[in-house]
Chains A and B, each alone.
Chain A
Amino acid sequence: MNSTAHPSTLAHHFDTLEQQRESASLGMWVFLGQEVMFFGGLFLAYLVYRASYPAVFAEASHHLDVVLGGVNTAILIASSLTMALAVYGAQTGKRNMLILFLVATMILGLAFLGIKAVEYHHKYEDKLIPGLGFSYPGPHGRQAQLFFGLYFAMTGMHALHMVIGIALLVWLIKDARTGRFTPDYHSHIENFGLYWHFVDIVWIFLFPLLYLIGLH
């Protein structure tokens, strides 16, 4: 193998760019596999207690803001679109399009977190945060605390993933501006896209399970 066959974007231990790209992609899918199991533990706990206390969970769910949750769902779905467009921009070598849609994705992600913060603040004012003066009217206050405990654990873990995603976006935007990504070399963008879509999908499950169970 001579130096012309080993471009600068190819790490020393890979033979071809294709091998490098496939490895990165497989690595991301394996990582998402562990993410599924990570959130799986939370979903299992939710399932157990939802099955145990369906009425209390439905009632407690009324205390969540369906409008804000719905807007956030729309925002996240939109951010998945912008992310997919950013990947398209990277694949086709349109640097401005890539940067534009990465920034759009980041703004939508920040908007989601902003709205989430507003919701959390409302819960604080309503004394619905376990451990911070939780009080819930009626005889089922304790089981309702279980619901809100799960709500904060699940949406909190999701929000943490969003924060990490936005931090990664900052780094990707910085690199995209230097022209690092080309149609031959943009695994970072593609794999970040996978991560972002995964975090969206988690929310697509969280929204009905937490917000909509009382509406029927």
Chain B
Amino acid sequence: MSIFVAPSIPVETQEHYLNNDYGIRSWLLTRDHKRIALLYLASITLFFFLGGFFAVLIRLELLTPQGDMVQAETYNKLFTMHGVIMIFFFLIPSIPATLGNFLVPLMVGAKDLAFPRINLLSWYIYVVGGLFTLGAVLVGGVDTGWTFYTPYSTTYSNGYVIATGVGAFITGFSSILTGLNFIVTIHKMRAPGLTWFRLPLFIWAQYAASIIMILGTPVIAITLVLLALERAFHIGIFDPAFGGDPVLFQHLFWFYSHPAVYIMVLPGMGVISELISCFARKYIFGYHFVAFSSLGIAVLGFLVWGHHLFVSGQSVYAGLIFSILSFLVAIPSAIKVFNWTATLYKGSISYQSPMLYAFGFVGLFTIGGLTGLFLASIGLDVHVHDTYFVVAHFHYIMVGGTLMAYLGGMHFWWPKMTGRMFPEGWAKFSALVVFVGFNLTFLPQFILGYLGMPRRYHAYPEEFQVLNVMSSAGASILGVGYVIPMIYFIWSLKYGALASPNPWGATGLEWRTPSPPPPENFKEIPVVNEGPYEYSIREIKVV
């Protein structure tokens, strides 16, 4: 077990990717996937708090039934900017561009991603797209909802639809390039002995998400081009007056945007597989099922977009098919949940902070997934369509799922990324705060939606106030839960205890190299001769 032995020289004197070069140029021109991951981390954190700022304003307005804080038009802009920023600029890049960028080469035992320059380019593309969208926000914003539905977006909206669309269009290419880099890296750059079925499940999940990025994102790109052409030149493609069809926009939009949900959640599922296996000290139960369920989700995810169109005048037969297909996509998701649960069974579970987030993920994702089945049932969907039930459902997936996994992953790999430990007590506390705050925010919204409160209105009947106040109170707790990790992560950069190469006693190639890793990732390219989660066949020392 020499591979897990701690290095004899102290960490801070070794050369690693953070101290091998200094200065702004060494960051802005870096081709090191680890540094690019940190560039992404800084930028998406910025966008996360900006999107969160809009959420704060939304929840403040909804404290009272009267639309008294902002006007209806302003409110439209608030939820649009919240959605656009959170989805395109935070959730889509969140796990792939930060944890994925950092970990994919480490986990496959490579020195970098296959195309380091393209990796840097993707970050610049992301920044340019982000600046476009920020510009649109500053000059007046956009009020169409993040879905840009026609004909409102093409004909009636006074907002900066084209600028925002261009921002999303540009940013899409950063995600395409990230996906391309991951696919090639996973195919071509695995360490000797690292066969496909010895890959960590995080890699399988990133691979599946990359397929969606490659096949889905270009469709939203061309759709946004057509939207811009329609708005600028009125070519008629989405305008019934010219024989065009606004519903075609919805089809094209959701052909990407539904699979995009799986771009967000698949990498999160990959994180959870790593965490649960590590903190249950067991080989993941049903490795092949978990791996292939990722691919299953990627494939089936492309066939369910029509469940967003149940009330859009889609034919009833199409609706039936899409309903059945949407039920089918629940199967691979459930396979994962059952396998995680089975992994916990008779495991020696330790309740460290990353594991708390993983527990949160499993519970919240399950609620989000099961309520997704409600929405896939046509009859029930007609009742709750465009209500807070839908809002609660997708927040359970995107925030309760993806964001929990992202935070769990950040805690798990933070020592590897920075070489510093964070205060574990505070981390456990914040995991609890996030869990409580999240449920208090969004559980009442299920009830609100079921009772008939429509989404996207700044005023509502008085009988909904109690639940809305609960939701707003939960949101402020949730906000605190996000600020605490932000503070202690930054604090740990200077004051945190130095991290050992493998503070969790985890398997995986990334733990066989110092924390933080050297610029070339490994002093010697590792040779792999076993599966990814051999926790049970021998003890792995925490070093």
Contact = CB atoms under 8 A, between A and B. Distances in A.
Interface of A: 11-15, 19, 22-23, 26-27, 30-31, 33-35, 37-42, 44-45, 48-49, 52-53, 56, 130-132, 142-143, 145-146, 148-150, 152-153, 157
Contacts of B184: 23, 26-27, 30
> Which 10 residue pairs across A and B have the least CB separation, nearest first?
A149-B235, A131-B233, A38-B218, A41-B222, A13-B112, A13-B111, A37-B218, A143-B243, A130-B235, A142-B242
Interface in B485-505: none
B473 interface: no
A143 B242 contact: yes
A48 B248 CA distance: 9
Contacts of B219: 37-38, 40-41
Contacts of A52: 243
B111 A41 contact: no
B183 A30 contact: yes
Contacts of B222: 38-42, 157
B91 to A, nearest CB: 20
Contacts of A149: 229, 233, 235-237
Contacts of B217: 34
23 contacts: A12-B111, A12-B520, A13-B113, A23-B114, A26-B184, A27-B118, A27-B181, A30-B180, A30-B183, A34-B217, A35-B218, A37-B216, A37-B218, A38-B218, A38-B221, A40-B218, A48-B245, A130-B234, A131-B233, A146-B244, A149-B233, A153-B226, A153-B235
Nearest to B116: A13
B225 A153 contact: yes
A131 to B, nearest CB: 3
A117 B179 CA distance: 35
Nearest to A41: B222
A130 B236 contact: yes
Q: Which of A37, A145, A148 has the most CB of B within 10 A?
A: A37
Nearest to B111: A13
Interface in B229-260: 229, 232-237, 241-245, 248, 252
B214 interface: yes
B110 A13 contact: yes
Given A19-B188, A146-B235, 19 more contacts: A12-B520, A13-B105, A13-B110, A30-B180, A34-B215, A35-B218, A37-B214, A40-B219, A41-B252, A42-B222, A44-B252, A48-B248, A142-B241, A143-B243, A149-B229, A149-B235, A149-B237, A150-B237, A157-B225
Interface of B: 105, 110-116, 118, 176, 179-181, 183-185, 187-189, 214-219, 221-223, 225-226, 229, 232-237, 241-245, 248, 252, 520, 525
A41 B216 CA distance: 10
Nearest to B243: A143
B528 to A, nearest CB: 15
B180 A31 contact: yes
B522 to A, nearest CB: 11
A11 B114 CA distance: 10
A22 B214 contact: no
Contacts of A35: 218
A27 B183 CA distance: 8
B253 to A, nearest CB: 10
Contacts of B233: 130-132, 149
Nearest to B187: A26
Contacts of A34: 176, 180, 214-215, 217-218
Contacts of B243: 49, 52-53, 56, 142-143, 146
Contacts of B221: 38, 41
A14 B115 CA distance: 10
